[in-house]
Amino acid sequence: MKEFNYVITDAEGIHARPAGELVKKAKEYISSISIIKEGKKADAKKLFGVMGLGVKQGMEITVQVEGEDEETAAAAMETFLKENL
């Protein structure tokens, strides 16, 4: 399993549109991908779940990736977060 942390810098936090794009990205991979915020865990492939975390600017999230393509998936998720959130 791959795991990394990321602090959200976007002023709006993970709001609807980037959440949608994040889900789209996550769905490109076979691995299961979860986002954890303050102990709450959500499936990164599910929009309502991701939005339901209510992640705001300055908050730290943990991303866990597990599966056969975890290396590439984790790297891709990290790049996505850095570029968009």
- Residue count, binding to other proteins (CB under 8 A): 21
59 in contact with other proteins (CB under 8 A): no
Per CB under 8 A, contacts with other proteins among 61-80 are none
Q: Which two tokens stand for residue 34?
A: 């979860």
The answer to whether 37 and 59 are in contact (CB under 8 A) is: yes
Nearer to other proteins, 24 or 82 (CB): 24
Rounded CA-CA distance 76/83 in Å is 11
Rounded CA-CA distance 70/15 in Å is 25
Name the site residues for other proteins (rule: CB under 8 A): 11-13, 15-17, 20, 23-24, 43, 45-49, 51-52, 54, 56-58
